[in-house]
């Protein structure tokens, strides 16, 4: 049955020939808000909840709720595992918040607990809008392509920052918004700039690009109807941006996101991509050899690296604090950076929302990955099939990098994670709605399937 969002998208405005914007249009605006506005800019009086992306997410949550309450069209029968998982996570987080309110809290923790719950609702709003609002597989591909374009522009900015050693966006003044913290786009490691684009921190920048990369790669491989340059330039620029980020996380994110795609490639594609990667690394080495040598050193001398040592030391702190509130934690967001920077989002989730909270969050990721893979296998169209694996690769890349830093403390990385999780839910829903048509679709020929 046709989704209520699609019916509303197709309804014309009275007296005009214009269409009412659909969820894809709204989420495109969200991409602009999330990545074009520097991540450290907020409405000062609202604190961490004053991010424009968070405010947009709250609007999305209200819109989704109104549509659920007022909608007259019934949904297509079937489970919605991602939606169920995120609602479960919200309930657990609310229970954790209630527990936090029953104990004495320092004033700064009290404020953070309130804004933390607001941020969770906003991220869930984006997830649910994407999950239930994308009306068709074609519109889903359109939104994914726009996400890749956003990642490409972010990578271009990062490469420019690397070359010029200038942040370039710190002079931007947006009326009503103020910087909530220092901007770190000219942070250095090994004498090289670690670009951050419009993100607060290079690791946040790395996560966004790492999640965009599997999608860019799959769209380049499977959308043979588009010009060669428009397909492959984003792949090269995002990969270059990750390479120049000066971070172990970039390599780990690339590998985590690509591994699941390998079974979907023919031998020809594997060889072509491997050779292309070698050529890109050779060009980077020729232009800036220290990039490659620094990256090699970061892995070979990992036990001598201060950031790796800090993560190892955090394990002892985590063990001591975990026993205090093991089930529901101390409240989302209440473990402040001045207490300790854990550099591990899962540890932080356990401390703040307990075992139940981290299990609920992992359930969102698990249902998203398993759902898109299972849904993809039901589709006869190879392009649609591989898109499911690309979404799975994007989630796996993001979920893996959560082991390396507290990603939900940063607006862009948190917004990106919940957006992609919502798109996984949309893919699952659309695949099930279109299952009869998908089985009747004629599969692409092998020659078209391996077209680069």
The listed range with the strongest mean pLDDT (150-159, 219-228, 435-444) is: 150-159
Which helix or strand (DSSP H or E) is residue 189 part of? Answer: strand 187-189
Mean pLDDT of 79-86: 91
Alpha-carbon distance values, 381 to 320, 376, 431, 449 (Å): 52, 9, 11, 10
pLDDT of 154 strictly over 80: yes
Q: What is the pLDDT of residues 9-60, one digit of tens each?
A: 444 444 455 556 889 999 999 999 999 998 888 887 776 677 889 999 999 9
pLDDT of 393 strictly over 90: yes
Long-range contacts formed by 362-368: CB under 8 A, 24+ apart: 363/85, 363/88, 363/89, 364/82, 364/85, 364/86, 364/89, 364/421, 365/395, 365/399, 365/421, 366/85, 367/81, 367/82, 367/84, 367/85, 368/82, 368/392, 368/395, 368/420, 368/421, 368/424, 368/425
| pLDDT (0 to 100) of residue 441 | 44
Alpha-carbon distance values, 34 to 85, 170, 222 (Å): 24, 16, 27
CB 90 within 8 A of CB 124: yes
Residue the block writes with tokens 């401390």: 351
| pLDDT (0 to 100) of residue 28 | 96
Distant-in-sequence, close-in-space partners of 34: CB < 8 Å, separation ≥ 6:
53, 150, 411, 412, 415, 416, 419
Q: Where are the domains of the chain?
A: 4-449
| pLDDT (0 to 100) of residue 9 | 47
- Separation CA 27–CA 21 (nearest Å): 10
| pLDDT (0 to 100) of residue 447 | 42
pLDDT of 438 strictly over 50: no
Q: Higher pLDDT residue, 195 or 48?
A: 195
- Separation CA 57–CA 33 (nearest Å): 11
pLDDT of 317 strictly over 80: no
- Separation CA 443–CA 432 (nearest Å): 18
Radius of gyration of the chain (CA): 22
pTM of the model: 0.88
Distant-in-sequence, close-in-space partners of 303: CB < 8 Å, separation ≥ 6:
309
Confidence of residue 442 (pLDDT cuts 50, 70, 90): very low
pLDDT of 314 strictly over 80: no
| pLDDT (0 to 100) of residue 1 | 42
Tokens of 294: 């620094």
Indicate the range of 133-147, 252-266, 299-313, 355-369 predicted with least confidence: 299-313
| pLDDT (0 to 100) of residue 191 | 65
Torsion angles phi and psi, residue 381, rounded to 5: -70, 115
CB 423 within 8 A of CB 144: yes
Query: What average pLDDT does the structure give for the chain?
Result: 83
380: nearest Cα among 429, 445, 450, 451: 445
Q: What percent of the chain has pLDDT over 90?
A: 44
């Amino acid at each position: 049955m046709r989704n209520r969002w699609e019916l509303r998208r197709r309804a014309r405005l009275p007296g005009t020939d214009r269409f009412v914007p659909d969820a894809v249009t709204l989420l495109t605006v969200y991409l602009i808000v999330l990545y074009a506005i520097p991540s450290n800019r907020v409405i000062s009086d609202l604190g961490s909840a004053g991010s424009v992306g968070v405010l947009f997410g709250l609007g999305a949550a209200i819109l989704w709720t109104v549509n659920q309450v007022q909608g007259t069209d019934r949904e297509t029968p079937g489970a919605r595992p991602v939606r169920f998982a995120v609602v479960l996570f919200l309930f657990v987080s609310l229970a954790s918040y209630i527990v936090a309110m029953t104990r004495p809290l320092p004033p700064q923790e009290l404020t953070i607990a309130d804004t933390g719950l607001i941020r969770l609702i906003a991220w869930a709003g984006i997830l649910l809008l994407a999950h239930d609002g994308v009306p068709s597989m074609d519109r889903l591909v359109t939104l994914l392509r726009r996400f890749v374009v956003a990642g490409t522009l972010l990578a271009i900015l990062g490469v420019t920052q690397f070359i010029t050693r200038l942040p370039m966006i710190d002079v931007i003044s947006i009326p009503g918004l103020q910087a909530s913290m220092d901007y770190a786009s000219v942070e250095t490691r090994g004498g090289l700039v670690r670009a951050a684009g419009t993100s607060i921190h290079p690791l946040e920048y790395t996560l966004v690009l790492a999640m965009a990369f599997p999608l860019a790669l799959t769209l380049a491989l499977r959308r043979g109807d588009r010009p060669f340059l428009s397909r492959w330039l984003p792949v090269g620029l995002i990969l270059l941006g990750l390479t120049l980020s000066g971070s172990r996380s970039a390599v780990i994110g690339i590998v985590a996101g690509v591994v699941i795609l390998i079974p979907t490639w023919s031998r020809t594609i594997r060889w072509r991509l491997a050779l292309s990667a070698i050529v890109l690394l050779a060009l980077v080495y020729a232009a800036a050899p220290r990039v490659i040598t620094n990256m090699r050193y970061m892995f070979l001398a990992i036990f001598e690296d201060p950031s790796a040592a800090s993560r190892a030391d955090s394990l002892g702190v985590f063990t001591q604090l975990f026993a205090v509130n093991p089930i529901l934690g101390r409240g989302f967001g209440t473990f402040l950076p001045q207490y300790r920077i854990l550099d591990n989002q899962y540890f932080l989730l356990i401390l703040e929302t307990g075992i139940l909270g981290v299990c609920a969050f992992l359930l969102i990721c698990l249902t998203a990955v398993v759902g898109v893979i299972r849904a993809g296998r039901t589709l006869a169209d190879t392009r649609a099939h591989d898109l499911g694996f690309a979404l799975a690769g994007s989630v796996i890349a993001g979920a893996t990098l959560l082991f390396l830093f507290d990603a939900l403390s940063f607006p862009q990385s948190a917004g990106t994670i919940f957006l992609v999780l919502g798109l996984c839910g949309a893919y699952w829903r659309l695949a099930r709605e279109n299952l009869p048509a998908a089985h009747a679709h004629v599969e692409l020929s092998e020659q078209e399937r391996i077209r680069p």
